[in-house]
Chains A and B, each alone.
Chain A
């Protein structure tokens, strides 16, 4: 029973990181109907930026905030400069631009910070004043911080004018434009938010998987799986999907022999299964296409 609880709690912690990535995937998808294959590498790059601030002597929380803020700006700039020109291009061209971004970020990170594996400190203190045999302090902090981020995102979309405008731009661009919403900038804002949330995910996962240029490949795959499972059209669903994937992953790793070696294959099977049997995901809208 204790093993079960440990696996589940650790699963929830890692799952909340997947939730962050899944949420950024959904944000981009909602904003501009793309899967951003470079989302993981962007988050990895943000994590390196936080690491650089740390190396310059900044306290860890300051580094965290600065890295997330810079990622937000970078997301906006990338949308304006690179994604907007291919808005109406064939899907293949759009995919190629994302692949290009992935290659650039991966190699630039390797060039600037080298490919060696680096330890990354946890954002959280080594103990919160109480000890538990079921869950470590970093995992506990991860769950708390992710919940906070999600709450902020929810409040932003639910209670602010900009959030409302962004939802309008995603739901019905033409009508939104007619009532004076600058749709293009809302999309860019969506990209910025996605990059910022991805950065949170990257900085939270780095102490667990260690910092290296390829650290996000698996995490991104799980993020995609979570987003699809929850429903690519539903931000709340994506968060829940990420959590479910995290817990499932840990159960498979803990109970299925050889399971921990086949984690990525598990994600692959899950992605294909969801796409085949429930393409709208658990909470997504079923899209009816008129022919």
Chain B
């Protein structure tokens, strides 16, 4: 359960169906819904990064909004100041977020569990203020933020929203495959060994500091790519869009989807984008209910009590349980 799923025919078929559905989707729904799915994928990519860090390497972060912001702002600045194309800017944003994550991973090496959570909490709370700072205003646009035009369609027969959707789909599928390969590699096993028993891992000759900081970097890179895509979809970056609650969304999405999983991130992304709409609809019918995010907080605590493995983790357990029942 705490390892990535092995390749089985069932998994491959499921993956193929998901991909086919993903490709067909923009032709079935409106541009607005397509745009919402793009947002969900942007979130999901950041959550995938957090899954790698927390689920597979055991390091906590309630400050991934900082790396999300790093990616979003890098992409916006490269486009706005240097006139780069959106896709080159994503690569640059990924690299810059990786460096940020790696650097933050260095002090994080000495912090365990709760203390790392506290340090990343501080990072998330301080991020909007740093983005507003006068000295960077020339680059960041200060309180105003930066306007980023939506990338032109890759082929002229589809709309800009559809095009961005396919770009996001391509990126998230690639990252999921890359993550799967990474976790099945020597480095991936080292990451999980450190999570399960840091001292034993060190004794077996794993370069613990290097693996942990690199994992932090990779995780931040994912968050940065998610942030860049988020910026393209919403066409705007501003400091207050990256407040502490963004870190909460990422963490919550990861946990809801299943933090020790790769596909779970997709459920997390969909949850973060569509749950508030859904809750809003319910509220229109029942006006006495508290606002979506308060219900959401209650929901979050209930999930922790009753479904601590998240959607994907529960699915895995259900399958194992069914198999055992069937085979007698």
Contacts and interface: CB of A to CB of B under 8 A. Distances in A.
B62 A275 contact: no
Interface stretch (A66-74, A123-131, A164-172, A266-274): A266-274
Contacts of A85: 305
B56 to A, nearest CB: 13
Contacts of A228: 118
Contacts of A225: 122
A275 B115 contact: yes
A107 B299 CA distance: 14
B92 to A, nearest CB: 24
B308 interface: yes
A35 B114 contact: yes
A268 B104 CA distance: 12
A91 interface: yes
DSSP majority for the B interface?
Answer: helix
B251 A96 contact: yes
A271 B119 contact: yes
Given A89-B308, A91-B113, A103-B293, A262 B248 contact: no
B206 interface: no
Nearest to B199: A291
B304 A100 contact: yes
A265 interface: yes
A279 B109 CA distance: 13
B291 A268 contact: no
Contact of B252 (A82, A99, A110, A268): A99
B223 interface: no
Interface string B283-310: 0000000110110111011001100100
Given A108-B290, A271-B122, A276-B110, A95 B117 contact: yes
Contacts of A95: 60, 62, 114, 117
Interface stretch (A147-155, A174-182, A216-224): A216-224
B300 A275 contact: no
Interface size classification for chain B: 35 or more
Contact of A272 (B60, B122, B251): B122
A95 B300 CA distance: 11
A111 B126 contact: no
B125 interface: yes
A30 to B, nearest CB: 14
Interface of A: 33-35, 37, 82, 85-86, 89, 91-93, 95-97, 99-104, 106-108, 110-111, 217-218, 221, 224-225, 228, 258, 261-265, 267-268, 271-272, 275-276, 279, 291
Given A268-B122, A268-B123, 18 more contacts: A34-B114, A86-B304, A89-B304, A92-B54, A101-B297, A103-B248, A103-B293, A104-B294, A106-B293, A107-B296, A108-B294, A111-B294, A217-B244, A228-B118, A258-B133, A264-B126, A268-B125, A276-B110
21 contacts: A91-B60, A93-B304, A96-B304, A97-B301, A99-B248, A99-B252, A100-B304, A101-B301, A102-B297, A103-B297, A106-B293, A107-B294, A111-B290, A224-B118, A262-B133, A265-B133, A268-B123, A268-B125, A272-B119, A275-B115, A276-B110
The 6 lowest CB-CB distance pairs between A and B, nearest first, are A104-B297, A103-B297, A107-B294, A100-B300, A264-B126, A100-B301
